[in-house]
Structure 1
Amino acid sequence: MNVLQPVRKRRRGIDDAGGEAGFTLVEILVALAVLGIMAGLMSSFLTQLGAVSRVEATITRESELAAAADYLKRLLASARPVRLLDAKPDESPYLDGRENQLRAAVITRQGILALGLRDLELGLKEGVLYQAMALRRLKNGQPDRSSQTVTEIADGLSALKLSYLSDGGWSETFREDGALPDAIRIELSAQENGREIRAGAVALLR
């Protein structure tokens, strides 16, 4: 009886060791499963976060284009029937308009309270929507551009399209002696996250 007891103890020790090893393996498997679930949740969260960021970028871009179109609407509505300084002696155009560029004389704020007439050039160059303003002055019979300032209105644009309304309907160009178009349609577009974003406005000149 006494001889068998150590053997039983030894077997019990072996069984206990195997049980401990088995329990440790189960813990590892559970931990791996939990890590897998957490990794899946994190991946899903990052995917959703990326989608939200793209939506926010698109909304921001749409707001920027809408603001730029509204600004151009107000700016072009202030065009005045004044002869362009660089016009030929036998011509009297008030506005030289093309599909992606325009020149005219507009009323702008000068200082806090004063308003003044300035020559405006508006266009799109290398994706940048810009305006160039200069005082209406001649030097040696030519427009004096020494006071010209160039301002970037918006960047990253893919297109600027201007259309001009006159008696003949809408046209992509306008240059008539002694006349301004009735309205100017403004269309801006840009690419954001693989989709095209557009904004537009119509400036009424009469």
Structure 2
Amino acid sequence: MRTAPVTCEANAESGFTLIEVLVSLALVSLLTLIMVGAIGQMRSISAISKSSDADVELQAFGNYLAQLIAGAKPLALIGDNPDRRIVFAGNAEQLRFSSVVRVGSNQLALRDVEIGTASTNGKLALIEINHARRVAGAYPNADVASAPITLIDDLKSVHFEYVEDSPASSTAQKWLKDWDMPGKMPRAVRFTIEAERFSRLVRVERIVNLRFGL
């Protein structure tokens, strides 16, 4: 019994034609381009999201600090010379004033609030220290301070300024680098904070009008 020879038609059906190979390569190339484009778009979306988060972080902190300063009270600071009666003290990098702050989960208390800069791991940070107010002579250690609270870190610069007159036309006002006028609070405080987030400079600036102007 003889075996029938394999015909050319049978060989043609057992492999791929040149057109089929070219079509397959074209489809693979198209899918690769789509995937590369999708990955690039995802990276762009991630970068935009991180940038937006950095803006939200700094703006939220600016709102917190502005609200804290706006609540300053015209009370003589503890530890200062009673004859001078300094009620608000500040320079370009720190300030101190009296305000009602939260000291527990649901408790508020009057404290001397100190906001200033500090270096943590070689990076600039803004910290808050709350000093308990004591009646003079009632306690041997009148200045009882809380542990420093890091409000925000990894900053590039922090700058405070003060104005004595109304800031209605702030461009015409003379902003001061220091404030220690006896018995008098500044009419307004301006602060500028800059931070670098994801290779981009983020900046927040606020002008805080104080409720008291003694």
In the superposition, the TM-score normalised over structure 1's length comes to: 0.79
Which amino acid in 1 is paired with 2:76? R
Whether 1:176 aligns to 2:199 is: no
Instruction: Report Cα offsets for 1:43-69 as digits up to 9, x if no partner.
Output: 111111111111111222212211111
Q: Which residue of 1 aligns with 2:144?
A: 144
SS state of the match for residue 87, structure 1? coil
The percentage of counterpart residues that share the same residue type is 25
Give the letter for the 2:164 counterpart. Answer: S
Distance 1:113 1:33 in 2: 67
| Contact 2:132 2:143 (8 Å CA) reproduced | no
Q: Could you tell me whether the CA contact under 8 Å between 1:185 and 1:202 is conserved in 2?
A: yes
Q: Which AA in structure 2 matches 1:203?
A: V
Match of 1:3 in 2: none
Within the candidate set 38, 47, 51, 1:58 is matched to: 51
Alignment partner of 1:99 is 2:104: no
Range moving further from structure 2, 84-93 or 125-134: 84-93
> Any runs of at least 4 consecutive aligned residues in structure 1 with deviations exceeding 6 A, and if so which?
none
1:183/1:47 CA distance change after superposition, 3 Å: same
Unaligned runs of 5+ in 2: 166-172
Give distance in 2, aligned partners of 1:31 and 1:130: 62
Cα-Cα RMSD = 2.9
Corresponding position: 1:31 with 2:24:
yes
| C-alpha deviation, 1:113, in angstroms | 7.2
Q: Select the structure of larger CA radius of gyration.
A: 1
Which shows bigger deviation, 123-132 or 175-184?
123-132
> Structure 2 length as normaliser, TM-score?
0.76
Superimposed CA distance per residue, residues 96-132 of structure 1 (whole angstroms, 9 cap, x where no aligned partner): 2121211222122456776432011112333333211
Residues 42, 112 of structure 1: alpha-carbon distance in 2 compared, 3 angstrom cutoff: closer
Q: In the alignment, is the contact (CA less than 8 A) between 1:124 and 1:159 conserved in 2?
A: no
1:119 aligns with 2:117: no
